[in-house]
Chain A
Amino acid sequence: MRNIAWKLIEVMALRLTPTEREIVLGDLIETRETALRGMREISGLVVRRQLQLWNGWRAWLAAPGLALPCSFLLMGFSFAISSELRTHFAYGLQLNLSWAQPAEAVSLLCQAVVLIICAWAAGFTVESISRRTFVVSAICCFLPCLFCLLRFRQESLPRLCLLLFLFPAIAGVCFSRRGGTINRRRAFALVLAATICMAVLAVRGHLWVLNWELIVPAWYLAILPVRPDRMAHLRNEGIVS
């Protein structure tokens, strides 16, 4: 029983940094606390640490500032791309109209580029600016998804088409988790491509004005100062070994 309780305490302590985990678990062993009290002590510290993270701007920018609105906006792009693809590949092939209208093909290409770059950059940025509140950011991303999936009424398209953006977004998160960095030249190339595509969409009237927020994470990547101590910081946080 005590072993199970101790395992539970260790699992709860995973929310702490490795250094703090080591210290606190040592304290609990030394004071021979009961399992219940040990769990209360650890959960108290975890809650305090989590609340402290919300004192700064990073957590607020990552969760309600980026994850929530980007999720809504990128779902719009996912839906638009799915609809266009369905038109081209289903009806277009039947009527032999596929890619007959280059303007439509350009719009589709621009939407796809914006979706991939902006979703990837949003995932990377949200994860890297506030790593320890990532769970809340993920919830802020999934709540709009749930809302839209439940209200989805298009019979000609599968509901999951709304979640197309999640593939590049998750790739961005994983890249950041592995401690990945992107050099400034590549970041500028990406952000420039996304901006040009958005401008093309705006000129053609295919872009809602609020969609410009999607470009913010990509620009953040481009102007983010390259921190040489990033890996050391990640190691200290226990994110990479």
Chain B
Amino acid sequence: MALGEFEYLLISAAATLGENAYGVAMSEAIAKATGRTCSIGALYTTLDRLEAKGLVKTWMGGGTPQRGDRSKKMVRVTPAGTVAARSFYDTMIRISNRAPWAVQ
């Protein structure tokens, strides 16, 4: 299944964070990697789309005092999500391997 760039970023962030993947942590990971802030609107609407495609699974996690005991949206990448992300990654590597910035 074809992924967009932001979808790939979300899946990669969730996969990297593992058990600790939830909204704020993923948003911070993406901001750190890309240098761009990730809005809540973009994050949650894209997560919904990924879940509808069966690429991630989400559920409500428990709250913590730092967030006023409000629940989190936990995220886990499904096997289909892993396949889609790998396919995106391989495509990027293949298309880039002779590009000047990759050859340097």
Residues of A within 8 A of B (CB): 19-20, 22-31, 41-42, 44-45, 47-49, 52
Contacts and interface: CB of A to CB of B under 8 A. Distances in A.
A43 to B, nearest CB: 8
Interface stretch (B7-15, B39-47, B87-95): B39-47
A112 B71 CA distance: 52
B83 interface: no
Given A23-B70, A26-B72, A27-B23, A41 B60 contact: no
Contacts of A31: 24, 27
A22 B71 contact: yes
B70 A22 contact: yes
Contact of B41 (A19, A22, A47): A47
Interface residues of B, number: 19
| Most chain B Cβ neighbours within 10 Å, of A30, A31, A41, A44 | A30
Interface in B1-46: 23-24, 27, 39-42, 44-45
B41 A41 contact: yes
B68 interface: yes
Interface of B: 23-24, 27, 39-42, 44-45, 60, 63-64, 66-68, 70-73
- Chain A interface mostly: helix
B60 to A, nearest CB: 7
A84 B41 CA distance: 54
A117 B90 CA distance: 61
A41 B72 contact: no
A20 B48 CA distance: 11
Contact of A30 (B24, B39, B41, B44): B24
B73 A23 contact: yes
B64 to A, nearest CB: 8
A41 B40 contact: yes
A41 B64 CA distance: 21
Given A23-B60, A27-B23, A45-B41, 17 more contacts: A19-B60, A20-B44, A23-B71, A23-B72, A26-B67, A26-B70, A26-B71, A26-B72, A27-B40, A29-B68, A31-B27, A41-B40, A41-B41, A42-B40, A44-B39, A44-B42, A48-B41
A23 B24 CA distance: 10
Contacts of A20: 44
Contact of B44 (A24, A28, A29, A47): A24
8 contacts: A20-B44, A23-B72, A25-B70, A26-B71, A41-B39, A44-B42, A45-B44, A48-B42
A26 B72 CA distance: 7
Contacts of A27: 23-24, 27, 40, 67, 72
A41 B70 CA distance: 17
B35 to A, nearest CB: 17
Contacts of A42: 40
Contact of A49 (B24, B45, B60, B72): B45
Which 8 pairs of residues, A with B, have the shortest CB-CB distance?
A26-B70, A44-B41, A45-B41, A26-B67, A30-B67, A41-B40, A29-B68, A48-B41
Contacts of B72: 23, 26-27
Contacts of B73: 23
